[in-house]
Amino acid sequence: MIRASVIVFPGSNCDRDVKVATEAVTGSKANMVWHGDSEVPKSDFIVLPGGFSYGDYLRCGAMAAHSPIMRDVIAKAKAGTPIIGICNGFQILLETGLLPGALIRNASLLFICRDVFIRCDNNKTFFTNCYRENEVARVPIAHHDGNYFADEATLDRLEAENLVAFRYCGADGEVTDAANPNGSQRNIAGITDPTGRILGLMPHPERLFEPALGGTDGRRVFESAVVSVMEAAA
């Protein structure tokens, strides 16, 4: 049995979507863990879902990063439990320092909600191993503060250590300014930590994980987690 836990914050609006996606892929009931709890049940991986935690007051993800449950999430992440942060969950990962950089206002200063193309630049991580290297996937975005920013030294380190998991691209896989929906530096859509076990990404894979939703390109994020867990247990 594969055990996934989804952290629920006040203002989360994708926690149920992630629950449905993880349960469909793992075949097991997901733990829904309230932000005010003090401990996450033993889990094979933890999801920080999208939404507007705490109404995005102060700064996106800033208040959620200090929720009581996050002390245990951070401790478990540092002990090796895989974590995926999607959209607002990515913002939370950055606010906790589990991943480097920041997510600032979209370059257009507008909320953007549409499908985009992303290219998998590193398919050797916990959450990406079911994608082919440089495979292009179509996934939705829905954010106002998805413009990834970091200093040049951090960006160079991400590149040198192959920590950029996904980049915004065209349907042909070409990384261009025109394919960048929010102004993210180097078209970065998602990054991992050096272990490959912590992933933050702005697009929503749970919103395209089955044909009824219009596509399945996001499903392989969750399938990758299942494969990783099974390989570790073998």
Q: Which residues are catalytic?
A: 87, 204, 206
120 membership: H or E segment, kind and range? strand 112-120
187: amino acid identity, one letter: N
- Dist CA 72 CA 36 (whole Å): 11
- Dist CA 80 CA 198 (whole Å): 9
User: What's the token pair of residue 13?
Assistant: 């609006």
- Dist CA 79 CA 46 (whole Å): 13
Q: Among residues 30, 115, 128, 48, which one has the least CA distance to residue 88?
A: 48
How long is the chain?
234
- Dist CA 168 CA 147 (whole Å): 11
Q: Among residues 157, 17, 31, 28, which one has the least CA distance to residue 87?
A: 17
Residue 98 DSSP SS3:
coil
Q: Do residues 83 and 73 make contact, with C-beta atoms less than 8 angstroms apart?
A: yes
Cβ-count burial 34-52 (b if 16+ within 10 Å, e if not): ebeeeebeebbbbbbbbbb
